[in-house]
Structure 1
Amino acid sequence: MDLDQARTALARASRVAVLTGAGVSAESGIPTFRDAQTGHWARLRPEDLASPAAYARDPEMVWEWYAGRYRDVLAAQPNQAHLLLAQLERRKGAGFFLATQNVDGLHERAGSGQQGGQLAELHGNLSRGRDEVTGQVWPLPRPDELRLPPQSPAGNRMRPDIVWFGEFLPPAALSAAEQAFAQADMALVIGTSSAVYPAAGLALLTLENGGVVAEINPEITDLSRLAHFSLREKAGQGLAALLGTPGPIC
């Protein structure tokens, strides 16, 4: 399948499912999970900070790391890829589903999940905390008002609303994503290595059910040999080419 054929397939698809990874947010200046290990944190592995065991051992240290990441993502802005996906959702309406492995909230800030389609954050969101007693999720205060570790309105300590090593993805979000990809006429996989399961298996559901799979990634991934169309571009440039959108989206 060439670019023109992929464009035609996307235009004709009534049900489109999208999976995004760190490559989408990289163009907003947000480092990947492992690249966030800089400065003071370079001495630690992500596994030393993003796990239930690490949190039980030193919740203040874990929160300090997440508070810094939270501050960084609030300072970032949605880029062309985020905006183009929100635009695609407006076109497809209820037939559009976006699952993201990113925790920065930039898809929502760009308008995804608000144009008739659905947005599922598979790995959580840096801007939220989860009550350790009730399990309820609450938005965090602005960084300059955040006191660590934060408390919920019920007065209980909150943990970051992030999926850590050794934890399962949120069942409702994963189930919705699996259904959407299984039913999709076309799936787009953008800016992810397609190596981390179960998210990496979503596009396989589309293939198994006769749908078209297109990939956008500067590097060859585990999905590349299986996809009908694979574009070696960064997320924003690749989406602009696939959607036939000239110039930057502002």
Structure 2
Amino acid sequence: MRELARAAELLDGAGALLICAGAGMGVDSGLPDFRGGEGFWRAYPPYARLGLQFEELADPRHFADDPELAWGFYGHRLSLYRKTVPHEGFRLLLELGSRLPGGVRVFTSNVDGQFQRAGFGFVAEAHGSIHHLQCLAGCTDTIWPAGADVVVDEETMRAVPPLPSCPRCGGLARPNILMFGDFWWVPDRSQAQLDELTTWRRTARDLVVVELGAGTAVPTVRRYAELASAATGALIRINPREPQIRHGRGVSIAAGALETLQALVSEKAG
């Protein structure tokens, strides 16, 4: 496969590695694919019965209007992500990046914390993290780690009180995640990560960008990967459904994350 050989050649010449990951990165770990209503409903049959789609549930207004519904969705995901073991592709990327003089960094729209669990020391979470909370009422801009799992009735997908609360005012807490139409998200933690990543990029030499599982529906990751690789064209885009790269500035591989990373490591070894 010519693209695989080109990608291996880029990695052989890399001085630093930037991983840009979207939701497709977690599929090989067994995490659900929320692409389209059908994919979401296969993962969450109770929401299919209610006719609720991902975009409707990922609305911050539910925390005020129906907190048990809101925390049912996010509480279930929090528990799921805590139980999920990152697939081997995470380890392969970490080993590849750790050998480079400039090291490895991650930019992701994922809120699941899988890169940290896999051992990555620096992750910029553009849309926040489900493992951190903020006050729903906005009594403080403080962001704190999520506590114990939220109990969820899986028949109704509604959370069972007590729900997570703000340590300052005692009111309801919500995940520190950028949701749809979200004017109340506290971006401080994510912005500090992004600022640090920008500083690192300015000093990184021979940077290679590996983008995995990032679609065009929410193009945050794709745009960042293209921006970071704009000067050199050293972009490896791995995506089974939307692998195209504008103007041919990089290597396009139409396959899943894990199988491609395993093949890349074999190609480099060969």
Judge same fold: TM > 0.5, yes or no: yes
Cα shift readout 1:197-250 (whole Å, capped 9, x = no counterpart): 33321122134312411111222335376342122221111112223379xxxx
Is 1:47 aligned to 2:55, yes or no? yes
Tell me the equivalent position of 2:166: 152
Cα shift readout 1:46-88 (whole Å, capped 9, x = no counterpart): 2222123333322221111111111222221110122222222
Rounded to whole Å, the distance in 2 between the matches of 1:214 and 1:148 is 46
Tell me the equivalent position of 1:165: 180
| TM-score w.r.t. length of structure 1 | 0.83
Tell me the equivalent position of 2:154: none
Tell me the equivalent position of 1:241: 263
Rounded to whole Å, the distance in 1 between the matches of 2:113 and 2:30 is 14
The 3-state SS of whatever aligns with 1:92 is: coil
Rounded to whole Å, the distance in 2 between the matches of 1:112 and 1:207 is 21
Is 1:97 aligned to 2:112, yes or no? no
Rounded to whole Å, the distance in 2 between the matches of 1:192 and 1:234 is 11
Question: How do residues 103-182 of structure 1 correspond to structure 2 at under 5 angstroms?
Answer: 103-113=111-121, 118-132=122-136, 133-143=139-149, 147-154=161-168, 155-167=170-182, 170-177=190-197
**Residue 10 of structure 1: CA displacement?**
1.0
Rounded to whole Å, the distance in 1 between the matches of 2:232 and 2:199 is 14
| TM-score w.r.t. length of structure 2 | 0.77
For 2:100, the aligned partner's letter is K
> Which of these residues, 232, 240, 243, is aligned with residue 221 of structure 1?
243
Rounded to whole Å, the distance in 1 between the matches of 2:83 and 2:194 is 29
Rounded to whole Å, the distance in 1 between the matches of 2:162 and 2:132 is 13
Structure possessing the higher radius of gyration over alpha carbons: 2
Is the 2:106–2:124 Cα contact (8 Å) retained in structure 1?
yes
Q: How many residues align?
A: 242
> For the aligned residues, what is the CA RMSD?
2.8
Is 1:69 aligned to 2:69, yes or no? no
Is 1:202 aligned to 2:224, yes or no? yes
Question: How do residues 14-25 of structure 1 correspond to structure 2 at under 5 angstroms?
Answer: 14-25=15-26
Is the 2:87–2:258 Cα contact (8 Å) retained in structure 1?
yes
More relative contact order, 1 or 2 (CA 8 Å, 6+ apart): 2
Rounded to whole Å, the distance in 1 between the matches of 2:247 and 2:265 is 22
Unaligned 5+ segments in structure 2 are 152-159
Is the 2:8–2:267 Cα contact (8 Å) retained in structure 1?
no
**Residue 14 of structure 1: CA displacement?**
1.1
Cα shift readout 1:114-167 (whole Å, capped 9, x = no counterpart): xxxx21122222222223321222222232679542013333421112110124
From the superposition, tell whether residues 176 and 222 of structure 1 become closer, same or farther in structure 2 (CA, over 3 Å).
Answer: farther
